[in-house]
Chains A and B, each alone.
Chain A
Amino acid sequence: MPTLEIRDLHVAVGDKEILRGVDLTVRSGETHAIMGPNGSGKSTLAYALAGHPKYTITSGTVLLDGEDLLEMKVDERARAGLFLAMQYPVEVPGVSVSNFLRSAITAVRGEAPKLREFAKDLKAGMDALSIDSAFAQRNTNEGFSGGEKKRHEILQLELLKPKIAILDETDSGLDVDALRVVSEGINRFRGLDGEGEGAGAGADTGVLLITHYTRILRYVKPDFVHVFAGGRIVEEGGPELAEKLENEGYEAYTKASA
């Protein structure tokens, strides 16, 4: 059963400490929402878990299925089953979406997919996310709109089938239709096919959903909500906590953490 265990994680950028002791456990079948104001360190948590070289772990541990995640290289973490849908997906000039995805699938599965099978899966994945099939030949994320980039991240999520997915503000910059399409993709990944609670049995996957706003939580229902402020989790609860934030905002927490 995949589990991501974060213990007392401290992270710095340069000499500046950004995360100041994060504790969080995500088990398979669970969806955790992390909500917090801008600048509270949500993306720092996401990047640090993925292994971005700019972020230095100053103390703490992170285990994925009991294995030390922090000892692994970026690509090893991904192959171990961690996925980060980035807030700002990177444009990679000259590398087509199709070529990129085939390389990624080959790396994660340990063998190259059969060409026909890959073409079929890619087409199906793109259709499900209302991505025009012409995107397969375009350069990765280059010239994509904000919404197109986010759909492309979820396409990767569905094709790579990780154990634990961190989704960093996947909802930002999406209009209502795109938000629904993207949420459906996340729910397919969770093994919940959009027919309301308990529709699917739930997949063997865990989700860490980072968001600033509550609107995506109407489509992707979290089991736990964590409030993030000043580089740590300051309050935890169930879905009802999201409603409280919706009504009251983050002011109480930003004042307390300042």
Chain B
Amino acid sequence: MGLETKPLSTLHERSSYNVADFAVPTGREEEWRFTPLSRLKGLHNGTAAASGTVDVTVDAAPEVTVETVGRDDARVGKAYVPADRISAQAYASFEKATVITVPREVVASRPTVITLRGAGGGAAYGHIVVRLEAMAEAVVVLDHGGSAVYADNVEFVVGDGATLKVVSLQDWDDDAVHVSHHHAQLAKDATFRSFVVTLGGDLVRLSPSVAYTAPGGDADLTGLYFVDAGQHLEHRLLVEHTVPNCRSNVTYKGALQGEDAHAVWIGDVIIRAEAEGTDTYELNRNLILTDGARADSVPNLEILTGEVAGAGHASASGRLDDEHIFYLQARGIPFDEARRLVIHGFFAQLLEKIEVEEIRARVLAAVEAELTR
């Protein structure tokens, strides 16, 4: 029996703030087997000294409080305990955390944009906490760019009846390495919408997770990625249903083109025995546009109760459909344009989910740019 046969629920049991509690990964572990460790620039083995810079600037809605705090702030690390070595390393290494708070019952009047710009120079570590108090509503954008070797943890704490919509854009320079955990903790009747767009970087490994502290939580996680030659873009989702009557929906779609373009998608959903009435669905689709590109897609659904409202998963990776292209070409549309239309169509439903107009336009433009490469 190898690691692969272990139930999800035990795989995800480990968590600690202490780096030493996690062995240096060898690449044989279930959670590391897809990641090219040699390209992590030492983030995984303690050799990545914090000599680099990632500048964090926040353009906040007027109703929202922004604080830069020290490691000892009580709000930091409260919702999330690191679950792997790099996450623990980031937790042990960051100096200042950014804490964003949306007060009780406040509806933020415009998106709060957190811009993270890598300025090179070695590894950097970060920590962000976004807190929505009860009944608050806000849109938060994480905009990653520049050149960096960056590991961070982001905590989203969504209070009773609050609604948080997050867009996280990873559009790093070609040499960047980014390993990140995004953890959302949902209180009673909280709503969480996450939209992840990963386009640029040499290696991006993003692990969004969701936990519920009370019934009625509703999480919707959407992702879009476009992998070019040589890139490794990995998304590892974990939704853990531990309380009754919560909902989760995961939809990630990616396109890959070029030699050694590599996408990894892991979708772990655990429905614990107590989580009766859970409704969950997860889907991953990959569009492989050229030879030499590879997508690994692993949905895992572990159900420990007999009383679910719905539970399903789907995963498919395939080529552009020749019939689609033929139909469009048969109407005079040249191949390149037909291909562009079909790929666009593949992402269309996802893009519609981005409610913030200017961000949708920006993502759309970024996808267009990928298509004309």
Which residues from chain A sit less than 8 Å from chain B, CB to CB? 50-53, 73-75, 77-79, 84, 86, 89-90, 92-95, 99-100, 103-104, 107-108, 139-140, 156, 160
Contact of A90 among B323, B337, B341 (CB under 8 A): B323
Contact of B347 among A74, A94, A99, A139 (CB under 8 A): A94
Q: A79-B332, A107-B332 are in contact. Are A100 and B341 (CB under 8 A)?
A: yes
| Cβ–Cβ contact A92 & B342, under 8 A | yes
Q: A90-B327, A94-B347 are in contact. Are A160 and B341 (CB under 8 A)?
A: no
Contact of B326 among A90, A104, A156 (CB under 8 A): A90
Q: Which residues of A have CB within 8 Å of B338?
A: 75
Contact of B331 among A94, A99, A160 (CB under 8 A): A160
- Name 5 A/B residue pairs within 8 A (Cβ), A-sorted: A50-B330, A79-B332, A92-B324, A94-B342, A94-B347
Within 8 A of A (CB), among B326-361: 326-335, 337-338, 341-342, 344-349
Known: A92-B328, A100-B331, A104-B332. 19 other contacts (CB 8 A): A51-B329, A53-B322, A74-B326, A75-B329, A75-B332, A75-B334, A75-B338, A78-B330, A90-B324, A92-B327, A93-B348, A94-B349, A95-B342, A100-B328, A103-B341, A104-B331, A107-B332, A108-B331, A160-B331
The secondary structure that dominates the B interface is helix
Q: Which residues of B have CB within 8 Å of A77?
A: 330
| Cβ–Cβ contact B330 & A99, under 8 A | no
Minimal Cβ-Cβ distance residue in B for A84: B330
| Cβ–Cβ contact A78 & B335, under 8 A | no
Q: Give CA–CA (A27, B179) in the complex, Å.
A: 66
| Cβ–Cβ contact A53 & B345, under 8 A | no
Which residues from chain B sit less than 8 Å from chain A, CB to CB? 322-324, 326-335, 337-338, 341-342, 344-349
Q: Give CA–CA (A52, B327) in the complex, Å.
A: 9
Q: Which residues of B have CB within 8 Å of A156?
A: 331
A-B residue pairs, 7 tightest by C-beta: A94-B345, A94-B348, A78-B332, A90-B327, A104-B331, A107-B332, A74-B329
Q: Give CA–CA (A100, B329) in the complex, Å.
A: 11
| Cβ–Cβ contact B332 & A95, under 8 A | no
Minimal Cβ-Cβ distance residue in A for B352: A94
Q: Which residues of A have CB within 8 Å of B323?
A: 90
Q: Could you tell me the distance in whole angstroms from the C-beta of A56 to the nearest C-beta in chain B?
A: 15
| Cβ–Cβ contact A94 & B330, under 8 A | no
Q: Which residues of A have CB within 8 Å of B341?
A: 92, 95, 99-100, 103
Q: A52-B326, A90-B326, A92-B324 are in contact. Are A107 and B344 (CB under 8 A)?
A: no
